[in-house]
Amino acid sequence: MPPRLTHSSLPKGKPSKAKPAGRAPKKAAKRALNAFSIASHDTVDRSKGRKSRLGESDVDARRKRPRDDEEEEDEDEDEEGGAVKRRKQGRGNDSFDEGSDSEGNNWKMGHVDDDDESDIDSDEAFGESDEERFEGWTFRGSQSNRKGGKVKKKSRDVDMDDGDDLDLDEGESADGEEDDDDLGDDAIDLATALDQWEESEEETKPKKGKKAKKSKSAFDDSDDDEPSEVDDLAADGAGDFDSEDDEDDDKQERLKDLISSLAAEEEEKSAPWKAEIHESSAPSEFGVMRKIDLANFKSKIADPERKKALKLLQDDKPSTKRNDLSRKLEAPLPKRQQDKLDRTAANEKANTTLDRWVDTVKHNRRAEHLSFPLNQVEDGGRMGESRLLPTTTADPTNELESTIQSILQQSGLSNGKEDEEKFQQWETLQTNKLPLEEVLKRRAALRKERELLFREEVRAKRVKKIKSKSYRRVHRRERERLMQRERDALKADGVEVSEDEREYNDRRRAEERMGAKHRDSKWAKGVKASGKAAWDDDARAGVTEMARRNEELRRRIEGKDVRDEDEDASDLSSEEEDDDEDDDQTLNRQVGRLQENPFSTDKSKLGSMAFMQKAENARKKQNDEDIERIRKELAGEESNSEDEDENSTKAGRRKFGPGSKAAAPAIQVRGSEFEERAASESEDENGVPVNESTKEISTGRHRLKPSRNASDNFESSAQNPYLVQAKKSKSGAEPDLALQAFDTIAATQDEPEPKPKSKKKSKKSSAKASADQEADHGLAGNPTISTPDDDGFQTVTYNDDSDDIENEGIDLDLLTRNHALTASAFAGDNVEQEFVAEKAAVALDDDTQTTTTSLPGWGTWAGSDLSQAQKKHARHAGYKTTTVVEGVNAKKRKDAKLDRVIVNERRQKANTKYLAAQLPFPFENREQYERSLRLPQGPEWTTKRTHQQATKPRVVVRQGVVGALRKPLV
Amino acid sequence: MASKPPSRDSAPGRKSITAAPVLDADAQKRADFAKAASKQYGRGEQIRTKSVRDKKLRSNLKALEAKNQEAAFQAKQAEILLDNEAGLLETEHELEKTYRVRQDEIQQEVSIETAKKRFELKLDMGPYDVGEYTRNGRDLLLASRKGHLACLDWRDGKLGCELQLNETIRDAKWLHNNQSFAVAQKKCVYIYARDGVEIHQLKKHQEATHLEFLPYHFLLASISTAGMIRYTDTSTGQMLQELPTKLGPPTSFCQNPHNAVLFAGHQKGLVTLWSPNTSTPLVKLLPHHGPVRAMAVDKSGTYMVSASQDRKLSIWDIRMFKELHSHHLKQPAHTISISDRNVTAVGWGSNLSIYRPDIFSLTPDSDVRVPAPYMNWGGDGVGISRLRFCPFEDALGISHAKGFSSIIVPGSGEPNPDSLEPGTNPFESSKQRQESEVHALLEKLQPEMISLDPNFVGNLDLASEEQRKRERDLDAKPDDKIAKLKNKQRGRSSALKKYLRKSGQKNVVTEEKVRAREALEAQRAKVKDRFEKEKEAFGPALGRFARKA
């Protein structure tokens, strides 16, 4: 390649433009060295020849660089820097087979060079601009050199170069924008090339644009692109190449001419283009710049419009002294920085794409269970796995289905989708056949439906607007307040509220009272819900009172009509009421009404039938009796009749106590027991205790509940009559008990004259004195037991009405004997007292223990000549230590408030084995932790599904291909 | 109210009017259902997750709560599978009383299969004190005081074994399944197999008067005439614990099936609660003033019914330790049994009263002095000695002086057996029995897990550090590693060698290592010595057969 060799010498031939060679040889050398070292580092595989070429080029560049270039403007620098870059890239491409790696490396070499240079002595000697310019030069030199080297080395390389050039030409021509060629660095004198052929960059620019686009579309496009270019090359490479060779000399001449002729302005104009080109250029495109078709260039610049534009551009910029040098090239960013920028850009890009996945990843990470392969919605591959679609709607998806379908079709069973379509078609046809009126009617119906629906919607909206009770209340209050204010204002003005209004208000209030409101009060509801009225006297009284008031109110407001209704409706309730009604008047009235209006008076057919009338009569009779009885009771007379009726029994029972009015509590308890037993005795063979009767008693009368405080153990023991008796008779230590004991003894050993049972009434009077006494101690009604007669039988007498006892027909004899016997049997063991004592002892034992130990004499003087006081002091003084063993405070014991219970407060040491020594980490308190353990996992305690969910492994891998997600799931 | 698309709504407008509130009511219903579910199956209160600061913990706890709720919801839903309904005899009007209904009347009315559950075994071997069912209700164990012992599949009428022990039998109990049972005889407790073969004699269980078997812990407990409670682990055969009650001869003994705590009744009206982990009773109660003749605890471990010689019948809430109710019987009761559905049978004298489950809803404030019984039986002069409800059947077994009677008590049995629970499947095949036996053994609870609160396992220990320090035995000797290592002697991997090999750097001399080496030397010398001796003993010709190690 002779021309290239000559090119390298060209700068020397043009000393005016090139820098004096000896200006900064040292630096140049340094840079070269640097570059070399770096390059050798970076590209280990590079051949030696190439390296040397680079070094040479550097030296050349140094030599050429002018000193004054420092005053270049930044803009220019930028532009030219871009240009330089471009060129460098081009060269890189030249030297290697095409491929991104090789390009990058090659480019890097030169580049790193620059970087180092600037680092070293940018401040001292050169402005950056200078360097850039030099680089420009360097390239040319280096390229020529390199080309020479190449020639020496390999002919194939050269071919490649040529090919590149050709290719680039081609590209330009293909663009059709300009026919001019790129800067063939090797072909031109460097200075002129710099000055003139900025335009070449112009041409490359569109290409670059393309490139950029490509690179946008894909990150690693460059690899793919280049081969195509190579192909292009191959297509028309040869011709171009030949022509170049031939015309080389001529070119030089023409170049010179051109350089002289071309205005500096033009160069300037082209500068901005260059800059753009370089910034975004990809290394593979550099080859474009190498070839120059001068004629083309010229013609282009001659284009008047373009010139104008360029001029305009140029006018903006401040003029530079030396036009040729103003084509400075800004140094490309150091590779490392550039890479960094690239990386950040790429990173941003990648992040935006990755961000789409964040949700999915998070979701999967937090998911309780994952099953692989993840079912991806868009897969759709496994049709029919999740659900079966009817063959009529879906096309057969696989072979099997299609075979089946075909079989079905052949057998005339189904035509699949077509069938359905046919049906539809038929239907539409049918509708077409319908008469117009019919269609209209249908449409009207449909419209009506829609209308209704719409109205419904509107209504729903309105309903929604209706607010809650409290909302209304608040608003009403507000309204009332306003009204009141208004009224006040009126009053102040002297206008009185009218009579009518007041009446209206009253009426409203009355209506409200009458309405369901007070009936639905909280209390009433509570009573109803708890069923309290069934047994609680107070509650029942309250209820009846309420009902009565309600009645009254209604009557008062509405008058007689209502009462009549009421009479019909409420005879049952009035019957209920009459027990507790305090108002005798009303009661009597009601009873009277009852009698007037017997149970039913309907004269229907059924009612007129014989048996119905009979039943009715019977019923009426009974009712009449009842009414009569009630009336009597109201009048104050006691019914002595012995009914099986519960009410009457209850009435009879009432007199069980000694004084029928005042009943002492203790006897109540006892009495009930007796009664129970009596009743049970009366039961046939089983001796069933009847509780209904006792229930009656309890409701009928005020009863003292046994107290259950820990404090009064004795009282509670008194509840057990046997024990009380026994204790008294035996211990007799406590004064209270002694008194009671006396009573019991009196009761049990009352043995003056054994009397027959029938004469109990007379007995009653004789025993009255003791009865009074007994009543004081809650032992009233104690049976009096006679001494055993000849047969060993005792007579037991109660201080009661004889009627009652006889009525019951109980063998009280036996019962009381039993009582007495059991009482005496357990008399000796003061179980309760012992228990209380034990509990106290345990509480004391478990309480906090303080022990004081002293070392007498410790810390005091000893000796014979101590004063009396000192001796005394020494005796008491001493080293004292107190040890406190924390225990459970007696008041904080679990059994502190429990009667007849001692709970062991000691720690169960064996159990601690299964306790967590400390709160496990993520939990903040005990509740959280213990709650987390509460749900058992075993199949015995939960449903199967819960169990399976609880024990399912976190990750399940099923058969299939676990592939990457294709698109975010969330 | 979302309006439906008009095209879909073919119904006239009237219908859609009613549709709106229905939706609401549905939602309401669902909410109510969920509420009821979490109340019934929620296992305690929910925790407030909102106040949790840590975000991750909060979300975790929320998920946990959601899971709990879901579990409760599903459990509630699964109730649909309990297709058998429970019920009791009901009267048509108030004058009719259920306690007047006689057994033959019931037998006439019920189905044939049910009627078969009423039967009578007339045995003349004296008072039958024991009539026990297995936990699945299939087998029956009968024992008379005079030594007659029989076990049978009562529904099929198949006799397992029949023995005459010629010794007093005080008590007998089935063990974990129908394959073996324990019998407290005059002196010791014996364990027999189903076919009557004596398997074990538990000599340590001296003069046991009562027996109890804790099926989940495989513990057989007895209380002796001296008031000593003894536990034996029947899976290992080890004697576990001997606890003196120090309260004299016991009068009754029962277990709380909920937490495996044993209840012992004593002469002075005391009831003490025992676990094998403490030497003192967990709780002491005083429900009575005389000897506690009988006790029973319901299945949920909430209520105890006890009866004493002073004729009192007392109902206690044994979670709160409060007496709910007490009244006097005509005669002192001496046996009580509570069925799975809380029907309570009380035997007094020759009578027997059965109470409805609502006796447990009585409170000290309620007006009922004496609850009316649900059913009655007996009164014909035959002394009743033990009552047992048959699990999963509406039958009550009564062992009395003249044998054994089974009567029908409608509503007493749990209608829905849980076949997953080992040992409680009434339809168990022998394979299933074997399987469940193994499972039960694998899932055996440790005796240390017995406590008043059976859910304590895993809870946080609330004892202060001081208390723990006090509990730690500071005077205990540090255990001697080397002495332990001496036990395994043979081969390359003898414990000492292994220890020396694994104890790290060779050049570090510690006291333990030195001792280990010494021990090793001694061992070697001993082996060598023995070898020499053996060689000598074998003589010159056979000396080579002497073993080296």
pLDDT value for B468: 85
Average pLDDT over residues A245-255: 64
Residue of B245, B367, B462 to mutate, interface with A, max A Cβ within 10 Å: B367
What does the pLDDT look like over B242-253, one tens digit per residue? 999 999 999 999
Cβ pairs A/B, distance under 8 A = 252
Cβ of A930 within 8 Å of Cβ of B458? The answer is: yes
Per-residue pLDDT band for A586 (boundaries 50, 70, 90) equals low
Is the pLDDT at A862 greater than 50? The verdict is yes
Instruction: Please compute the mean of the pLDDT values over residues A347-368 and round it to a whole number.
Output: 88
Q: Which residues of B touch A460 (CB under 8 A)?
A: 1, 3, 20
Which of B360, B393, B426 delimits the end of a domain? B393
CA atoms of B384 and B365, how far apart (whole Å): 33
Q: In this model, does residue A945 exceed pLDDT 80?
A: yes
- Taking residue B91's Cβ as centre, other Cβ atoms within 10 Å add up to 11
What are residue B384's phi and psi, to 5 degrees?
A: -85, 135
Contact B364, A704 (CB under 8 A): no
- B333-338: strand order across its sheet: B333-338, B344-348, B351-355, B375-378
Q: In chain A, which residues have their Cβ closer than 8 Å to the Cβ of B423?
A: none
Cross-chain Cβ contact A914/B282 below 8 Å? no
Who has greater pLDDT, B498 or A150? B498
- In this prediction, residue A635 carries a pLDDT of 61
Separation between Cα atoms, residue A717 and residue A831, nearest integer Å? 10
| CB-CB neighbors (< 8 A) of B9 in chain A | 449, 453
Q: Which residues of A touch B245 (CB under 8 A)?
A: none
Rounded to the nearest angstrom, the minimum Cα separation between B135 and chain A is 17
For residue B535, the one-letter residue type is: K
Nearest to B376 among A686, A835, A926 (CB): A686
Is A158 within 8 Å of A1 (Cβ atoms)?
A: yes
Boundary of a domain, candidates B393, B408, B438: B393
Report chain B residues whose CB lies below 8 A from the CB of A456. 3, 13, 16-17, 20
Across the range A690-707, mean pLDDT stands at 41
Upstream peptide bond of A373 is cis (omega within 30 degrees of 0): yes
Residue from the list A687, A926, A929 with its beta carbon closest to the beta carbon of B330: A687
- Report domain extents, chain A: 2-332, 399-459, 646-829, 847-909
State yes or no: pLDDT of A3 exceeds 50.
no
Interval A188-204 mean pLDDT: 50
Question: Can you tell me the mean pLDDT for A226-247?
Answer: 44
Determine the structural domain holding residue B69 and report its residue range. 21-81
Please report which confidence band the pLDDT of residue A292 belongs to, taking 50, 70 and 90 as the band edges: low
Pairing of β A370-372 and β A955-957: parallel
Chain A residues inside the 8 Å CB shell of B456? 911, 914-915
Of B268, B369, B467, Cβ closest to residue A829: B268
pLDDT at A6: 39
Question: B75 vs A942: CB contact, 8 Å cut-off?
Answer: yes
The CB density around residue A440, as the number of other CB atoms within 10 Å, is 11
B294-308 b/e with 16+ CB inside 10 Å = b? bbbbbbebbbbbbbb
- What pLDDT score was predicted for residue A966? 79
Mean pLDDT of A899-923: 91
Task: Return the residue of B nearest to A948 by Cα.
Answer: B71
Average pLDDT on A15-21 reads 43
Are A835 and B70 within 8 A, CB to CB?
no
What is the pLDDT confidence band of residue A775, given thresholds at 50, 70 and 90?
very low
Mean pLDDT of A363-374: 85
Q: Do A900 and B471 touch (CB under 8 A)?
A: no
Which segments of A720-830 does DSSP mark as H helices, in order?
721-730, 735-748, 760-766, 768-776, 802-808, 812-825
Q: What is the pLDDT of residue A411?
A: 84
Distance, in angstroms, between B112 CA and closest chain A CA? 27
Q: How many domains does chain B have?
A: 3
Of the candidates A140, A87, A117, A88, the residue with the CA atom closest to the CA atom of residue A24 = A117
Q: How far is A449 from chain B (nearest CA, A)?
A: 6
Which of A487-491, A691-695, B321-325 has the largest mean confidence?
B321-325
What is the least distance, in Å, from the CA of B89 to any CA of chain A? 17
User: With an 8 Å Cβ cutoff, are A673 and B54 in contact?
Assistant: no
Q: Residue A482's pLDDT is what? A: 92
Give the residue with greater pLDDT, A595 vs B415: B415
pLDDT for A718: 40
Element (H, E) at A357: helix A335-366
| Residue A654's pLDDT band (cuts 50, 70, 90) | very low
Given a contact cutoff of 8 angstroms between Cβ atoms, the answer to whether B451 and B275 are in contact is yes
Element (H, E) at B345: strand B344-348
In contact, B307 and B327? CB cutoff 8 Å: no
Which residues 6+ apart lie within 8 Å of A123 measured at CB?
none
* Whole-number percent of chain A with pLDDT over 90: 9
pLDDT in tens, A785-814: 444 445 545 444 444 433 333 344 456 677
CB atoms within 10 A of CB A439: 12
Pairing of strands B384-389, A849-856: unpaired
Question: How far is B259 from B261, CA to CA, in rounded Å?
Answer: 5
Q: What is the DSSP string of A617-657?
A: HHHHHHHHHHHHHHHHHHHTPPP----SSHHHHHHHHGGGS
Cβ neighbours for B424, distance < 8 A, ≥ 6 positions apart: B135, B136, B391, B392, B417, B418
Contact A807, A640 (CB under 8 A): no
Higher-pLDDT residue of B315, A188: B315
At residue B171, the pLDDT reads 96
- Taking residues A569-595, report their average pLDDT: 48
pLDDT at A902: 95
pLDDT value at residue B403: 94
Taking 50 as the pLDDT cut, the residues of chain B under it are: 1-20
Q: What is the pLDDT of residue A401?
A: 81
Give the CATH number for residue B314. Answer: 2.130.10.10
Is B317 contained in some domain?
A: yes
Rounded to an integer, what distance in angstroms lies between the CA atom of residue B270 and that of residue B290?
Answer: 8
Chain B environment of A838 (Cβ under 8 Å): 284
Is the per-residue pLDDT at A765 higher than 50? no
Write out pLDDT tens, residues A611-650: 767 777 777 777 777 777 766 666 654 434 344 344 433 4
Which of B290, B376, B460 is opposite residue A826, by nearest beta carbon?
B290
Nearest CA in chain B to A535: B367
pLDDT at B187: 93
Cβ pair A676:B13 closer than 8 A: no
Nearest to B529 by CA among B543, B509, B549, B545: B549
